[in-house]
Amino acid sequence: MKGTPAGWEHAPLGEVCRVVSGSTPKTGVAQYWGGSITWVTPNDLSRDRAQVIHGGERSLSKAGYESCSASLFPAGSVIVSSRAPIGYVAIAGEDMCTNQGCKTAVPPDFIDSRYLYWFLVNAKPDLEARASGTTFKEISGKRFAETEFWWPPVADQRRIVQTLEDHLSRLDAASASMDHALVRWEALWQSAVEGHLTGRDFPGARDDSTRLPEQGVDDGVLPRLPSGWQWARLGDLADVVGGVTKDAKKQGDSSFVEVPYLRVANVQRGFLDLRSVTTISVPPATARSLRLLPGDVLLNEGGDRDKLGRGWVWQGQVDDCIHQNHVFRARVRDDAIDPYLLSLAANSIGGRWCERNGRQSVNLASISLSKIRLMPIPVPPRGDQRVIVNRLQTLLEGGVRLRQSVQSALVETQSLRRALMTAAFTGRLTGQGTFKEVVQELASV
């Protein structure tokens, strides 16, 4: 920080506070564990995420404490995770010690614990920048102690903390309100999609003849559709194929052609993320057979269970693009259904169907090509399809605008949080302005 505000002092943190490192007893010695000595790790700091921490997942016995180099420090000390990751911060709510993944600053009487807490929260980027290591970054006790620390008189520290926490709580409330708006929008959107897909707002009697014959899959309870509508299997409406498997050994084959291809990460629910499209070398025949055409519906084959079948409609955004084996392509036959209607059904009704019918391994879920062809899809008459797509498209455009506005506001809120923190520790957060005045001042910097 350039210059020290009037009445403030500064020095390396280790010259102001006592810096304590942690240690871990041998994990295989049962008598070292389960005692009365509180012992915390970065895991405990990340799980709790409270300003004050009162204990960890494990505790030490007197023998365990004496067997290692851990040091007890008093309540009011400020603990920082120094690796995996760096920067979780908490105030000790009682006497305790830590493992080697934490560094602790024990403040003297003239440093308020909450002021030190917020100072170290704000110092996270600096701590990360001064860390070292190959497997994971870590800041040593020496480098932690070298952190430049600024502080005013203790009464001013407490006033700064009170003002800072008041302003941050207002920003937190604003962020929570915006997050809630997105959650409400998502619920309204899903309700509107399923209502339109199943003809909830269409007049007329519901027809029991729309039921699907059994195919050895769990269709759940499919709602009755209006007269003239029908349930159909995905494979009855579209040609569904898998994509190319990458073979690293053949990527140098001179007879192959290099083409862009879509991965699972590109195929999101309701949109395609094309910011990063990689390329692959494949035989020319494969490039021709898997080339995506406008109107193709893309569906994910694997990933988290709640993401099976998610996807959207290809509009020809990238020339000569194909898709990998973890992405299915459904190409509608004979205009049987509007591709957008098909994709909306796959993302909602079909998504839950995939959850019930997919396979689960240790880390990933997947659904086979033969099974996804059995996904049930509601099919309205062609004229109704266009009405439904237009209504949902209008609603979706409004939702996109809402989401963009909220996301922009959330980014601005994060910027204001950082500006508030910087102002607090450079002597510019006086506490004399209203929240609105402070926000206007910081937004103009």
Domain boundary residue, one of 353, 379, 405: 379
User: Does 1 fall in a domain?
Assistant: no
Give the mean pLDDT of 121-140: 92
Do 131 and 38 reside in the same domain of the chain?
A: yes
The residue among 47, 13, 51, 10 whose CA lies nearest residue 164 is 51
What's the pLDDT tens digit per position in 361-376? 877 888 999 999 999 9
* Domain boundaries, position 419: 153-202+382-445
The burial class, CB within 10 Å (0-12 / 13-18 / 19+), for 360 is: exposed
Question: What CA–CA distance (Å, rounded) separates 162 from 153?
Answer: 15
Question: What CA–CA distance (Å, rounded) separates 17 from 194?
Answer: 60
User: Does 395 fall in a domain?
Assistant: yes
pLDDT band at 166 (very low <50, low <70, confident <90, very high): very high
pLDDT band at 438 (very low <50, low <70, confident <90, very high): low
Q: Is pLDDT above 80 for 441?
A: no
Give the mean pLDDT of 370-384: 94
Number of H helices, E strands in the chain: 14, 26
What per-residue confidence (pLDDT) applies to 440? 54
The burial class, CB within 10 Å (0-12 / 13-18 / 19+), for 275 is: exposed
What's the pLDDT tens digit per position in 418-436? 999 988 998 887 655 555 5
pLDDT band at 248 (very low <50, low <70, confident <90, very high): low
Domain boundary residue, one of 120, 151, 182: 151
Residue 111 sits in a domain whose CATH number is: 3.90.220.20
Domain boundary residue, one of 359, 379, 399: 379
pLDDT band at 61 (very low <50, low <70, confident <90, very high): very high
What per-residue confidence (pLDDT) applies to 19? 97
User: Does 371 fall in a domain?
Assistant: yes
What's the pLDDT tens digit per position in 287-307? 999 999 999 999 999 877 888
Do 45 and 111 reside in the same domain of the chain?
A: yes
Q: Is pLDDT above 90 for 144?
A: yes
Give residue 49's identity as a one-letter amino acid code. R
Q: What is the side-by-side strand order in the sheet with 58-60?
A: 58-60, 33-40, 97-98
Do 82 and 195 reside in the same domain of the chain?
A: no
The beta-carbon contacts of 352-357 under 8 Å, at least 24 apart in sequence, are 352/220, 353/217, 353/218, 353/219, 353/220, 353/309, 354/308, 354/309, 355/305, 355/306, 355/308, 356/218, 356/220, 357/217, 357/218
The structural domain count of the chain equals 3
Do 120 and 238 reside in the same domain of the chain?
A: no
What's the Rg (C-alpha) of the chain? 29
Do 238 and 312 reside in the same domain of the chain?
A: yes
Do 236 and 288 reside in the same domain of the chain?
A: yes
Mean pLDDT, the chain, whole residue set: 90
What's the pLDDT tens digit per position in 256-288? 999 999 999 999 988 899 999 999 999 999 999
Do 261 and 333 reside in the same domain of the chain?
A: yes
Per cent of the chain over pLDDT 70 is 93
Would you mind telling me the total number of residues written for the chain in this entry? 445
Cα first-last separation, the chain: 16
User: Does 120 fall in a domain?
Assistant: yes
Do 273 and 400 reside in the same domain of the chain?
A: no
Do 132 and 260 reside in the same domain of the chain?
A: no
pLDDT band at 445 (very low <50, low <70, confident <90, very high): very low
User: Does 2 fall in a domain?
Assistant: no
What residues contact residue 364 under an 8 Å CB cut-off, 6+ apart? 302, 303, 304
Question: What CA–CA distance (Å, rounded) separates 147 from 424?
Answer: 17
Do 338 and 214 reside in the same domain of the chain?
A: yes
